[in-house]
Amino acid sequence: MKIKNAVAFVSGANRGLGLAFAQALLAAGAKKVYAAARDPATVTLPGVQAIRLDVTNSADIAAAVKACSDVTLLVNNAGIARGSSLLAPGSADAARAELETNFFGPLALSQAFAPVLAANGGGAIVNVLSVLSWISLTGGATYSASKSAAWSLTNGLRQELRAQGTQVLGLHVGFMDTDMTKDITAPKSDPADVVRQTLVALEAGQEEVLADELSRQVRQGLSAPRGVYLGEAAAATA
C-alpha cells in the first residue's frame, strides 16, 4: 500500500505511538489523517481531523465509520495495560478491561471498517501488538493474554480479508518511550522509529514488523528446543 494520498484512521492518536503514527503519515503525504481519541480535545496535532472514539463503545465506532467513509488505512493502536499478574486480587477485572480494549476494540473496528476498505480498493489494517504477544511476564500477565489474543485476531483477519485485497500487518515491539512505560527501567524504542519501520513495511507489502531487537530475539526463540515462552526463559529474555 502507498502512504502518499492514503486516508488514515488512527485510534489512540492523541499521544505516544498513535501520535507518532499521525505525525509520520502526514509527513509521508497522506491525504487525510483521522486522529481518534476518547476526548477529541486532547488531539492537538495540526493537520489532522480529531474524532471521538472509545474503542469499547459501539455507538462511537458506528459514528466514526459513518464520518470516515473514505478511509484506506486503519491503524488499531489504542491499548491499555493494568499491570496485573494472573493470581492477584482483581486480576479478572484487569483482564476483562484489557481484552475489551486490546482485543475486542480492534475486532470491532476491523469489522466496521472492512466494508469501507473494500469499497475504497482494499487498503490496509495495522494492528499494534507487542513482544508480550509471545511471552508472559508476571507483572503484566493479563496484558500479555490480551495481546496474544490480538495476535491471533491479526492472523485471522489477514486470512479473511485477503480476498478483498486488504493488507493486514502486525506490529510487534517491546518497550517504547511512551507514557505507558514511564515507570519501567529498560531500554526503550523511539516511537518515531517504530512507525518509520511500519510504514516502510506497509509500502513493501509485508505482513509483520519486528520493530526492535527484543522482538526479533523472542520471535526467533519461539522455535527453540525450549521455547522462549516457557518459564524462566521469558523473564530472562525481557
CA distance 41 to 43: 5
Distances in Å between the Cα of 213 and the Cα atoms of 28, 131, 220, 231 are 25, 10, 11, 21
Whether 143 is a known active-site residue: answer yes
State the number of CA atoms in the 13 A half-sphere of 154 facing the CB.
28
Active-site residue among 143, 167, 168, 218? 143
Q: Is 56 exposed, middle or buried (0-12, 13-18, 19+ CB in 10 A)?
A: middle
| Packing angle, helices 105-119 and 141-161, rounded to 10 | 20
SS3 for 12? coil
Closest CA to 76 of 86, 59, 94, 64: 64
Active-site residue numbers? 143
